[in-house]
Amino acid sequence: MSQDIVASRHRYYAWLFTALIISALAKLLRHSFLRTKPRVDVPVLNLDENTSRVAAAKQWMYNYEELLHAGYKKFKHDVYQLWTPDGFVVVLSPDFLPEIRQLPDSICDFYSGVKESLLGEYKFLDLSGVLPIVGLKKDVTSNLASTIPNFMEELLIAFPQAISVREEWRPVTVMSALERIVVPTVGRVFVGHEISRSQEYLNTQLTFNASVLTAAQKLRRTPHTFKPLVGVFLPDIWRLLNCLRDIKKLLVPVLEARLEKYKAGGKRTEDLPQVLLEGAEFESKPTPIPRQAEQALIFSFGGVAAISTALAQVLYDLAWYPTHIQPMRDEVNQIWDECDGQLTRAHLQRMVKMDSFFKESQRLNPANSTTINRYMRQDFTLSNGLKLPKGSRFCVPASQVSLDPDLWENPYEFKGFRFAELREEKPENISQMQFPTPTSHSLHFGTGRHVCPGRFLAVVQMKLLMAVLLRHYDFKLQNGETERPRNINFGPSNTPNQTAKMQFRQIRELPLPEVSPIILKG
């Protein structure tokens, strides 16, 4: 009798397992079918009867900018779509921006769009959470003036460690050096002063950043049906999960100590971890402290990636167009000498040539070719009668707007001081010529309700870093180099060369930092 019961149980579990497998396969096949069916009735630029979906996906991965250029030329004032490794994406003309920029997330979801554009279809990282973005907008940005001395302190400590040169010219790997300078500087405000300078945090952040980007690219190259299986066994995902575990070991004790201090009425710290701690008590379902630690690492990833890649492009452009270096150095030295190196936000705003160079570098070498990536939560009908149905995704071709000859004089020519000259020509439009200002002609920071919340923080840190670099170091291309280090393009992502080296030498002694006694050296 007992053997019959055991056999019956085995048959039951076998049938249950089989049913679950069949159900999962059916769901996967249904999803595969739906994703191959266009949701929007507009032309598909890279898919026709002579082009397979595999070939179209490869075009998206390796010839994305050419597709955007062809699409902008043909549909500048209209709508088309592209087949991608993750299904169809609609590309909207910038003409529709006034209609979509203020749509609520209940209709046009910013957060899902960002997840999709960064991670692709297979979500291997939890990017949920609105509180960090709100905190970045309201608290961190509003306290920028008081955090500038902290940023300068981190820069003066990190520079000689990352760029270890004296008077002799020596080769330096640009991206590696920048990341080692930017991580503790960004970390000071994103993970807190208690761990931002420790070697454990530096290693965790660098490994996490590399793992996220590499995993996203590898999964996008993987056929849709196999993404879940590949994701389980991908070493890059194992590494980033280990990093999430490590940041909790580092940051959770710090957050718990801060929470006790906060409850006791102690002095608060002006940074993102403090915002997360204090904001959690107002959430309907408070974010647990371990999850807050994860959010700090994830948002620091965004800041480090944005700042270091933008600065790498700036350095490559300066080395390729070296006549800009001395005017920018003169501007920095004049302002630095006036304030004896005690730079404020007002001083940084006077660095007009530097600001212009940043904006021109971004115009021609943006981090992403598209912007305003959104996911439709509800149907929405555009003014031309086209319906964007629930479940569809769209973007706007920002790189093509930046190269539009109807908007820019000689758009393919690099003019580092283009925007400084435009300020003089049109002083009434000065604010529109500033690097962090989004306009209808400059969309790389986004637009509308969800314009990049960290852009002011990024610009302050970029200017401080470049001010230190221009005043104390000289740099040039490697001897014998005959071209600018080439970018790495994958889909809409435009990444600066990761291994390129440049020659650096020190031209002035760095001032000694006033090391804060509350920093724990790791």
Tokens representing 373 are 């990536």
Gyration radius of the chain over CA positions: 25
Secondary structure element (H or E) that encloses residue 502, with its range: strand 501-506
Find the range with the poorest average confidence among 35-44, 157-166, 309-318. 35-44
Say how far apart CA 402 and CA 261 lie, in whole Å: 49
Q: pLDDT per residue over 441-497, tens digit each?
A: 999 999 888 888 889 999 999 999 999 999 999 999 998 888 999 999 999 999 999
Look up tokens 């801060």; give the residue: 258
Q: How confident is the model at residue 6 (pLDDT cuts 50, 70, 90)?
A: low
Q: Which amino acid is at 96?
A: F
How many domains, in total, are found in the chain?
1
Are 416 and 433 in contact by the 8 Å Cβ rule? The answer is no
Say how far apart CA 148 and CA 270 lie, in whole Å: 12
CA nearest neighbour of 207 among 326, 86, 304 = 304
| 410 DSSP β-pair partners | none
Residue with the bigger pLDDT between 130 and 214: it is 214
Exposed / middle / buried, residue 176 (Cβ in 10 Å: 0-12, 13-18, 19+) = middle
Model pLDDT, residue 517? 45
Find the range with the poorest average confidence among 105-119, 363-377, 495-509. 105-119
Q: pLDDT per residue over 216-273, tens digit each?
A: 999 888 887 788 888 888 999 999 999 999 999 999 999 999 989 888 888 888 888 8
pLDDT at 9 over 60: no
Find the range with the poorest average confidence among 12-16, 64-68, 95-99, 487-491. 12-16
Residue 395 assigned ligand-binding role:
no
Residue with the bigger pLDDT between 30 and 100: it is 100
Look up tokens 């959104």; give the residue: 374
Residue with the bigger pLDDT between 429 and 164: it is 164
Say how far apart CA 354 and CA 463 lie, in whole Å: 8
CA nearest neighbour of 373 among 163, 117, 150, 132 = 117
Residue with the bigger pLDDT between 121 and 45: it is 45
Model pLDDT, residue 449? 82
Model pLDDT, residue 35? 53
- What is the Cα 358 distance to its own chain's centre? 16
Q: Which amino acid is at 470?
A: L
Any domain includes 395: yes
Average pLDDT of the segment spanning 6-32: 50
pLDDT at 1 over 60: no
Q: How confident is the model at residue 30 (pLDDT cuts 50, 70, 90)?
A: very low
Any domain includes 339: no
Say how far apart CA 287 and CA 293 lie, in whole Å: 10
Say how far apart CA 203 and CA 207 lie, in whole Å: 6
Percent of the chain exceeding pLDDT 70 equals 90
Tokens representing 435 are 């690097």
Average pLDDT of the segment spanning 265-290: 83
Q: Where are the alpha helices (DSSP H) in 350-454?
A: 352-364, 398-401, 418-425
Look up tokens 């590499």; give the residue: 214
Range of the domain at 74: 44-121+377-402
Say how far apart CA 364 and CA 416 lie, in whole Å: 11
Are 170 and 478 in contact by the 8 Å Cβ rule? The answer is no
Q: pLDDT per residue over 101-132, tens digit each?
A: 889 999 999 888 877 777 766 677 887 777 77
The residues, any chain, with a CB within 8 Å of residue 47's CB and separated by 6 or more, are 53, 56, 83
> How high is the mean pLDDT of the chain?
89
Phi, psi of 41, rounded to the nearest 5 degrees: -90, 70
Say how far apart CA 224 and CA 412 lie, in whole Å: 37
Say how far apart CA 67 and CA 69 lie, in whole Å: 5
Any domain includes 422: no
Any domain includes 6: no
Any domain includes 86: yes
Any domain includes 54: yes
Model pLDDT, residue 97? 95
CA torsion through residues 184, 185, 186, 187, sign: positive
The residues, any chain, with a CB within 8 Å of residue 138's CB and separated by 6 or more, are none
Model pLDDT, residue 281? 75
Any domain includes 480: no
Look up tokens 């003309």; give the residue: 93
Q: How far is CA 41 from CA 117, 243, 386, in A?
A: 22, 43, 8
Q: How confident is the model at residue 423 (pLDDT cuts 50, 70, 90)?
A: very high
Any domain includes 193: no
